[in-house]
């Protein structure tokens, strides 16, 4: 058909074959199928890359964009793909500003991704609203922070009881469980102390007891030794080692190599993506 013939038919409303456009559409369709079924052929996925709902943590193309107003945006995460299995002990490292805390906040259900999917313990949580996220967080996540984040005016016992109060657990059971959690981190003799009556290491132990008291699926720690002297840091890391040996799944952020050495796997984040993933021989 001549060019003018095509134009004529188009003008009359007939369908004009457009091979390039059809090809582009077919390609787009294949790409979108690929995304949803997660079997696109890439080299960066190990052979044991599990189905997302069979892992403790699974993310697919996870993005977090912060809107700073006046059309300014920060792409803190730019497509993170992760698989972490039950009872893994993972350290996350990377330069300042690379997105480590943002990733921890998403994994810890403190925030929602801008794009992409996140499964926690078999459940797709990236679609949940804030109330549902809060429930999941209380049930599945234990969080430990660099600055401990204890209630200043509350005793150790009360600080550890708090997650149980949110979970709706009644008086006697609550106290028994909080006491047991404090005992498990060696703090049974400091139950009625307030944070300012405790050393940094003791405060972090109380914070770890609080993180564990709901028996969460994973323990997340963002620079847990960042505010501690090196000897106290070692004691806290020995505690994490024991918790891992007892079956806990642990993900911690650190910028210290000797802290990361305690973990069995190190994930390096750079510019909002996984730059390297090293699993150590056991």
Check residue 249 for interaction with ligand ADP (CB under 6 A). Answer: no
| 30 vs 74, beta carbon nearer ligand ADP | 74
3-state helix, strand, coil in the chain (%, to 5): 40, 25, 35
SS3 77: strand
Phi, psi of 56 (to 5 degrees): -75, -45
Choosing among ligand ADP, Mg ion, none, which partner's interface includes residue 66 (Cβ < 5 to 8 Å by kind)?
ligand ADP
| 98 vs 117, beta carbon nearer Mg ion | 98
Which is it for the CA torsion 66, 111, 237, 123, positive or negative?
A: negative
SS3 220: strand
Residues 56, 58, 63: CA angle, nearest 5 degrees:
140
Phi, psi of 187 (to 5 degrees): -115, 20
Binder to ligand ADP among 98, 159, 204, 225 (CB under 6 A)? Answer: 98
Here's the x/- map for ligand ADP, 48-77, by CB under 6 A: it reads as ------------------x-x-----x-x-
Residue ranges in the chain assigned as alpha helix (H):
3-12, 19-37, 100-107, 130-140, 156-166, 171-184, 200-212, 230-245, 257-260
Stretch near ligand ADP under the rule CB under 6 A, chosen from 40-48, 93-101, 128-136, 178-186 = 93-101
Binder to ligand ADP among 78, 87, 101, 112 (CB under 6 A)? Answer: 101
| 52 vs 108, beta carbon nearer Mg ion | 108
CB distance 116 to 277 below 8 Å: no
Check residue 254 for interaction with ligand ADP (CB under 6 A). Answer: no
CB of 153 to ligand ADP, least distance (A): 27
Check residue 113 for interaction with ligand ADP (CB under 6 A). Answer: no
Here's the x/- map for ligand ADP, 72-91, by CB under 6 A: it reads as --x-x---------------
Residues near ligand ADP (CB under 6 A) are: 66, 68, 74, 76, 94, 96-102
């Amino acid at each position: 058909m001549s060019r003018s013939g095509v134009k004529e038919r188009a003008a009359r409303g007939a369908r004009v074959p457009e091979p390039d456009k059809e090809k582009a559409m077919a390609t787009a369709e294949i790409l979108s199928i690929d995304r949803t079924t997660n079997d696109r052929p890439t080299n960066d996925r190990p052979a044991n890359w599990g189905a997302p709902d069979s892992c403790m943590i699974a993310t697919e193309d996870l993005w977090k964009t912060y809107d700073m107003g006046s059309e300014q945006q920060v792409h803190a995460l730019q497509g993170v793909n992760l698989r972490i299995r039950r009872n893994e002990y993972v350290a996350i490292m990377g330069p300042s500003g690379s997105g480590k805390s943002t990733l921890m906040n998403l994994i810890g259900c403190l925030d929602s991704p801008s794009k992409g999917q996140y499964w926690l313990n078999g459940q797709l949580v990236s679609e949940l609203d804030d109330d549902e996220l809060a429930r999941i967080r209380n049930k599945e996540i234990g969080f430990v922070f660099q600055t401990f984040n204890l209630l200043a005016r509350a005793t150790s016992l009360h600080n550890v009881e708090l997650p149980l109060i949110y979970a709706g657990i009644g008086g006697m059971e609550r106290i028994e469980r909080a006491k047991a959690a404090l005992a498990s981190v060696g703090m049974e003799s400091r139950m009625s102390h307030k944070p300012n009556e405790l050393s940094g290491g003791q405060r972090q132990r109380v914070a770890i007891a609080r993180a564990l008291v709901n028996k969460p699926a994973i323990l997340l720690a963002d620079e847990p030794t960042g505010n501690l002297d090196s000897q106290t840091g070692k004691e806290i890391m020995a505690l994490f080692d024991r918790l891992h040996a007892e079956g806990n799944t642990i993900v911690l952020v650190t910028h210290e190599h000797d802290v990361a050495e305690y973990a069995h796997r190190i994930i390096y984040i750079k510019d909002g993506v996984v730059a390297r993933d090293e699993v150590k021989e056991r």
